[in-house]
């Protein structure tokens, strides 16, 4: 699975704006949101859940699966948060 390469300037952003930009860029390149997975550190996952600036419609927890902008979120198990794109 190729991983997106975020510029250093985006890595310093809070998870919501950083990954919104990466998701929109991947979608503009022709990748379906169903083919994306956000693999977040536990810290980034917590920050995303607690972000008071985030519209309620942008995050969901339906069916035991967390999604951000329609992209499945996998919390933990990674040293650095990344947007994975399926080949």
| Domain extent at residue 33 | 8-85
Question: Does residue 32 belong to any structural domain of this protein?
Answer: yes
First to last CA, the chain: 6
Alpha carbons 30 and 17: distance in angstroms, whole number: 20
Pairing of strands 67-68, 82-85: unpaired
Give alpha helix (H) positions in 12-75: 15-28, 42-50
For the entire predicted model, the pTM comes to 0.82
**Number of domains the chain contains:** 1
Nearest to 79 by CA among 37, 22, 41, 38: 41
What string of pLDDT tens digits covers the 87 residues of the chain? Answer: 445 555 554 456 789 999 999 999 999 999 999 999 999 999 999 999 999 999 999 999 999 999 999 999 999 999 999 999 985
Question: Does residue 24 belong to any structural domain of this protein?
Answer: yes
Question: Does residue 2 belong to any structural domain of this protein?
Answer: no
């Amino acid at each position: 699975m190729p991983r997106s390469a975020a510029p250093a300037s985006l890595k310093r952003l809070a998870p919501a704006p950083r990954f919104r930009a990466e998701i929109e860029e991947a979608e503009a390149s022709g990748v379906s949101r169903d083919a994306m997975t956000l693999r977040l550190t536990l810290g980034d996952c917590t920050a995303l859940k607690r972000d008071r600036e985030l519209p309620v419609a942008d995050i969901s927890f339906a069916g035991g699966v967390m999604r951000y902008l329609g992209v499945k979120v996998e919390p933990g198990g990674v040293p650095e948060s990344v947007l994975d794109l399926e080949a």
